[in-house]
Amino acid sequence: MNDAWLEHLITEEEERTFAEQGYMIVENAIPQELVERATQVADRVTAEEKEKRGLGPSDGLLMLDFVGKDDVFLELLDYPTTFPLVWGILGWNIQLYHSHMIITPPNAVSGPGQKGLNWHKDSGRLNNELETDPQPRISLKVAFFLSDASELGRANLYVIPGSHLLNKLPVDEDKKPKGGIAILAKPGDAVFFDRRIWHASSPNTSEVTRKALFYGYSYRWLRPRDDMTVGHIIGDLDPIRQQLLGASATGGHGYTSPKPEDVPLRGWMQEKAGYNGAD
Ligand SMILES: O=C(O)CCC(=O)C(=O)O
């Protein structure tokens, strides 16, 4: 099961980059064939959702909880070029706590009422209620880019490198956010970012609709940030996917004090990836 992960274990350089910069880009993480398949499904799901919400073709769409809507989204959940990096950073007690798809047509923005860059850290109240500075990481996102955002103005994701270690948004003398860069992602690239990094979506001033799928991974004790509508599929999935989608064989206790059967990823890492079982 999942031996392809062994070919993409996290490197020391990736670990260091992510720890220091708070983000990293895995270029060509998924092949164009998969980009095309995922795009077809994303287009279908977008059309259905827009119809439901009464939105037109030029409206942006932020759609939470897409992961259970098609097998292609499950394929990306534990994809060989990205998932080993997720557990390489967070370890084995992990889950998908959140998925969202953002579609940004020409002239649209992805945030409701958004004008420029909507700088934020992820996870809402965690940023107010965790007392430390810097705060703990707790989760990260992997954004799969399906469209070509390799030029400026294509609703690029912006980040402030290194700002995951700063609770306050870094600003210049005029109180303007300082140090932001646009990520120029190509179709098939995966962008990893720490939930704490100051990041922003941006307006699309190009002719190319921006399409990206975001997978949020966290420790299993964090409550999901969306409805995680997966009850209709979870029973048919392999044990590691079940873990990722929120299963706990021993119930509530198993999220904070997991037994081996709650966390099959841990057993797999011990058997296959040289993990020695230490926390
Ligand atoms: O759409 C984007 O590029 C930004 C996404 C974002 O802000 C988020 O996932 O929290």
Across the chain, which has 279 residues, the per-10-residue mean pLDDT values are: 91 98 98 98 97 94 97 98 98 98 86 74 97 97 98 96 98 94 98 98 94 98 97 97 98 97 97 86
Q: What is the number of the ligand 1 atom nearest to the C-alpha of 214? A: 9
For residue 24, give both structure tokens.
């990293």
Pocket lining: 139 vs ligand 1, CB cutoff 6 Å: no
Contacts of 105 (CB under 8 A, 6+ apart): 57, 58, 59, 60, 204, 209, 210
Q: What domains does the chain contain, in order, with CATH numbers?
A: 3-225 (2.60.120.620)
* C-alpha closest to that of 210 among 119, 152, 145: 145
Reported as a single tens digit per residue, the pLDDT across 48-77 is 999 999 999 999 999 999 999 999 999 999
What pLDDT score does 107 carry? 85
Pocket lining: 141 vs ligand 1, CB cutoff 6 Å: yes
Tell me if 7 sits within 8 A of 48, measured CB to CB: no
What pLDDT score does 109 carry? 67
DSSP 89-155: HH-SSEEEEEEEEEEE-TT--SSTT--S---B-SSTTHHHH---SSPP--EEEEEEE-S-B-STTB-
Rounded distance between C-alpha atoms, residue 190 and residue 62, angstroms: 18
Q: Is the peptide bond before 134 cis (omega within 30 degrees of 0)?
A: yes
What pLDDT score does 276 carry? 85
Cα–Cα distance list, 199 to 126, 154, 158, 164, 170 (Å): 16, 16, 5, 9, 11
Pocket lining: 214 vs ligand 1, CB cutoff 6 Å: yes
* C-alpha closest to that of 213 among 123, 135, 147: 147
Tell me if 210 sits within 8 A of 102, measured CB to CB: yes
Pocket lining: 157 vs ligand 1, CB cutoff 6 Å: yes
Cα(152) to ligand 1 centroid in Å equals 16
Cα(157) to ligand 1 centroid in Å equals 6
Residue nearest ligand 1's atom 5 by CA = 201
Cα(217) to ligand 1 centroid in Å equals 15
Cα(143) to ligand 1 centroid in Å equals 8
Cα(269) to ligand 1 centroid in Å equals 31
Pocket lining: 194 vs ligand 1, CB cutoff 6 Å: no
Pocket lining: 243 vs ligand 1, CB cutoff 6 Å: no
For residue 152, give both structure tokens.
């400026």
* C-alpha closest to that of 230 among 58, 9, 76, 74: 74
Cα(156) to ligand 1 centroid in Å equals 9
Tell me if 201 sits within 8 A of 120, measured CB to CB: no
Cα(260) to ligand 1 centroid in Å equals 34
Q: What is the number of the ligand 1 atom nearest to the C-alpha of 122? A: 10
What pLDDT score does 31 carry? 98
What pLDDT score does 115 carry? 67
Cα(200) to ligand 1 centroid in Å equals 6
